[in-house]
Structure 1
């Protein structure tokens, strides 16, 4: 039976079982975190290091990229709201994860598809964070005599401390506040350097385009991926004291991310035009301020990694039934710590040993991000709640989002496959 979207928030009965977490949306959750911490969580995860690649995205497509960025914001907020309504589709209890949404909507194939795309992001992104941290640390401390692999393990050890000691996103959310502030500092560094270089004759030959039709699909894919937060939205909402504020929180958080994106993309493209690189720090004046920006990148990724890893760990621990009720307070902590040490060890090992993992992750990221952000939320909403109550223009809007999501996934994947082929040819 189809339900009107507003009915999803009129939950009065409470029912829980092994797969679902009972919750009444009308009731406050006093033990959970504030709306501000939820807001900071989303900003910290979404406005990551992708911020520094946006001037390059405008270089690919031209000034039309600004419009694409704003369109991606609107689509992302819309699908985030639809996805959260799917968690309460039966009007009785809250589904505990994105994977459950996929299973309830499409059975086992839906569960497997969501699990694959979800895992590729929540494990792949922290691995890339470790690689980035290790690489940048070598440049900042060359006199230490440590290679990239050693710095990667040092970064992994730092990430492991909050990851193993903090159980849920409520505790990790405190770190996200500092991560969000680090992103703001990073944007300030990029804007400052871009403005300084606008009068630098070195960049006088840089040209600007309004639209480059040949590169437009790649631009859409690149910018769309910058709004990938669906992998943690369920856990962020679960850790909110006032869950009915979700719509406002996610809109404010993604809106803030977009302001940071625009603040970086526009001055960066104005200054460097078709000479813009990714990350934009490569173009900026190589002075003390830029080095501070590099340090901020390291701080940001080290703070953001535990949020994504905790999202994965919570799902894995539920699957393994690692709970206080099942294992006891002491053994639950022991099992949880061991599991999380294995997870961070796996990430560190992959970061050190897989030579082409960056481009391989780009393949999974293009498929995973665009599919999880744009395509699956709408398909699951149609299946679980129904589409007949929607106006015709809403259906057209949903169709546009799905088409853009599919094209972004396909085009991003083709680019990643080409990069992987080039990696193997170069290596041979």
Structure 2
């Protein structure tokens, strides 16, 4: 008699007692919902940093790095989705990255390694989202009231208050409509920014263009690795298994469709923002292209209504991004604090959810106000967080589960990517931390200026 299929320990044996799975990671979505979540996780206002990235790499190397990183990340996410499908077909539907890594690699320490890296990513992105949203508010405020008294940390407090309210949405799946709006907003502000850059570059007030790189060789090397780390952060997400967990089983083939949706938006947004912004500002590109278009010492380089609408679109999307990257933290909290037997909206579960999510958002807002390093945070998070989870582990997990022959091209491509990005991650970490330390001399606590 043939053996009966293995039972899914996460879906059947354990999930009914796991509030993090039942409440936060509900498996009810379709492939397009996963596409919305994935697009929000990757295609965000960090694309406004791309001209700044090109500033450290130049035209040719910047275009090459952007293309290579896009191809490698798509390949990596494709392999990771296949690993998850393989485990599901074997009777083990993993809904968390940390459990997937620990199971496939057979090592308990991988569980804690992944959860540590994911926590760094999610908290870093949460801090960055609040900081950039506050900067958007500050840009609008300074345009309407040039001599106003409000400081950056006050705008951070406003954004944090809104995030506290939105964070009470109970499940990842409940963000699907917000993330559809996020996708449309990303297309909207990209088109507006590109139009603004073209207007700025062809107007009589066009800035002088200089595309030269740093003067010293060491500065160019460090600048290049920092830029590559930022690109890794822009393409990274680190939560694909949790996103795939929101898809109703079986998940086979659904994430690939979601990936194709996401990368269609990436191709439109990333290249247009990077090339148009660097074309106009060259090595004077700011870590936020909006600040380049709205210089402090001169007139706006594009119609105010265009930039104002772009800022509003960016601001609205940042709330969605902050929510998406908070889901792993919320899932961990509710797994420990909630009682699945008493219902999602019971008093027993509602009060701890309100308290814990509020504390988490206040912490992110406080750090954003205290350490306003938007460009530097991107580089550090990319090197330390996204590179291990998005460029190294998926290749290793695929080789472990599908066991391609060592003579096969797939095996050697995966091994090469792991080796190259391990080196890039080490150098990127060093160069990003170096820049963060150097920039520490340029700021004071709770400064009103975001350091590039």
TM-based fold match above 0.5: yes
**How big is the shift at 1:276?**
2.8
Cα displacement string for residues 182-233 of structure 1 (whole angstroms, at most 9, x for unaligned residues): 1111111221022123324644543479xx98455444333222211232x2
The answer to whether the aligner puts 1:98 opposite 2:97 as a matched pair is: yes
Q: Distance in 1 between matches of 2:363 and 2:199?
A: 42
Does residue 1:49 correspond to 2:45, yes or no?
A: yes
Structure 1 segment 76-225 matched on structure 2, within 5 A: 76-87=73-84, 88-89=86-87, 91-104=90-103, 105-142=105-142, 143=145, 145-164=149-168, 166-200=169-203, 202-207=206-211, 214=221, 216-225=224-233
1:36 aligns with 2:32: yes
Is the 2:131–2:372 contact (alpha carbons within 8 Å) kept by the matching residues of 1? no
Distance (whole Å) between structure 1 residues aligned to residue 379 and residue 52 of structure 2:
16
Q: Give 1:411's aligned residue.
A: 427
TM-score by length of 1: 0.84
Q: Following TM superposition, by how much is the alpha carbon of 1:325 offset from its aligned partner in structure 2, in angstroms?
A: 1.9
The structural deviation recorded for 1:417 is 1.8
Deviation at 1:133, TM superposition (A): 1.9
Counterpart of 1:395 (choices 411, 419, 424) is 411
**Alpha-carbon spacing, 1:229–1:328, altered in 2? closer, same or farther (3 Å):** closer
Give, in angstroms, the shift of residue 171 of structure 1.
0.4
Q: How far has the Cα of 1:251 moved from its partner?
A: 3.0
Deviation at 1:52, TM superposition (A): 0.9
Contact 1:42/1:254 (8 A) holds in 2? no
Q: 1: CA distance between counterparts of 2:317 and 2:118?
A: 21
Q: Structure 1 residues 183, 19: closer, same or farther in 2, change over 3 A?
A: farther
Contact 1:218 1:408 (8 Å CA) reproduced: no
Please give the per-residue CA displacement for 1:298-351, whole angstroms capped at 9, x wherever unaligned.
Answer: 111122111111232113322x06242267851123322222122222222322
Q: Given the superposition, is the C-alpha separation of residues 206 and 75 from structure 1 closer, same or farther in structure 2, using an over 3 Å criterion?
A: same
- Runs of 5+ unmatched residues, structure 2: 17-25, 294-300, 445-452
1:328–1:268 Cα change, 3 Å? closer
Q: Does structure 2 retain, via aligned residues, the 8 Å contact 1:20–1:96?
A: no
Question: Is the 8 Å Cα contact of residues 21 and 94 (structure 1) preserved in structure 2?
Answer: no
| Secondary structure at the counterpart of residue 138 of structure 1 | helix
8 Å CA contact 1:169–1:311 kept in 2: the answer is no
Q: How many residues align?
A: 405
Show the counterpart of 2:380.
363
Task: Report the Cα distance in structure 1 between the residues aligned to 2:232 and 2:369, rounded to whole angstroms.
Answer: 29
State the partner residue of 2:298.
Answer: none
Task: List alignment gaps of at least 5 residues for structure 1.
Answer: 1-10, 23-29
Secondary structure in structure 1 of the residue aligned to 2:73: helix
Change (3 A) 1:146 1:272: closer
Change (3 A) 1:192 1:80: same
Instruction: Give, in angstroms, the shift of residue 236 of structure 1.
Output: 1.9
CA distance 1:150–1:276, change in 2 (3 Å): closer
